[in-house]
Structure 1
Amino acid sequence: MTLSAWLALVAVCVLGAMSPGPSLALVVRSTINRGRGAGLITALSHGLGVGVYALATALGLAAVIATQQPLFTAITLAGAAYLLWLGASAMQATHSGAAGASEAPAGPAGAAHGGTPGGLAAARDGLAMALLNPKIAVFFVALFSQFVSTDANGWTVAVLAGTATTVDAGWYALVAMGLSASGGAAWLRRHRVWIERLTGAVLVFLALSTAATVIR
Structure 2
Amino acid sequence: MYWIEFLTIAGVHLLAVASPGPDFAVVVKHSVQYGRRAAIITSIGVGFAILLHVIYSLLGLGLMLKTSPIVFQIFIYAAAGYLFYLGWTSVRSKAPKKQGQNSEMVKQPNISDSKAFGIGFLTNGLNPKATLFFLTLFVGIVSIETPNEIKALYGLYLAVATGVWFCTLSFFLSTSKVRNLITSKGYWFDRFMGAVLILLAIELVIPV
Q: In the aligned structure 1, how far is the partner of 2:121 from the partner of 2:179?
A: 33
Q: CA deviation at 1:7?
A: 3.2
In structure 2, do the counterparts of structure 1 residues 161 and 139 end up closer, same or farther at CA, with 3 Å as the change threshold? same
State the SS of the aligned residue for 1:106: coil
Q: CA deviation at 1:24?
A: 5.6
TM-score, length-normalised on structure 1? 0.57
Q: CA deviation at 1:186?
A: 1.7
In structure 2, do the counterparts of structure 1 residues 79 and 168 end up closer, same or farther at CA, with 3 Å as the change threshold? farther
Q: Does 1:15 align with 2:15?
A: no
Residue of structure 2 equivalent to 1:98:
93
1:104-133 per-residue CA deviation (whole Å, 9 max, x = no partner) reads 4412xxxxxxxxxxxxxxxxx4xx4444x2
Instruction: From the two aligned structures, give the one with the greater helix fraction.
Output: 1
User: Mapping of 1:69-88 within 5 angstroms?
Assistant: 69-73=63-67, 76-88=72-84
* Larger Rg over CA atoms: 2
Residue of structure 1 equivalent to 2:132:
146
In structure 2, do the counterparts of structure 1 residues 182 and 98 end up closer, same or farther at CA, with 3 Å as the change threshold? closer
In structure 2, do the counterparts of structure 1 residues 54 and 195 end up closer, same or farther at CA, with 3 Å as the change threshold? same
In structure 2, do the counterparts of structure 1 residues 181 and 139 end up closer, same or farther at CA, with 3 Å as the change threshold? closer
Residue of structure 2 equivalent to 1:174:
172
The residue identity in structure 2 corresponding to 1:142 is L
Residue of structure 2 equivalent to 1:60:
55
Contact 1:84 1:208 in 2 (8 A): no
1:39-91 per-residue CA deviation (whole Å, 9 max, x = no partner) reads 4x665454334322322x12222124x26743454564333112322344456
User: Mapping of 1:105-116 within 5 angstroms?
Assistant: 105-107=110-112
Residue of structure 2 equivalent to 1:201:
199
Provide the identity percentage.
9
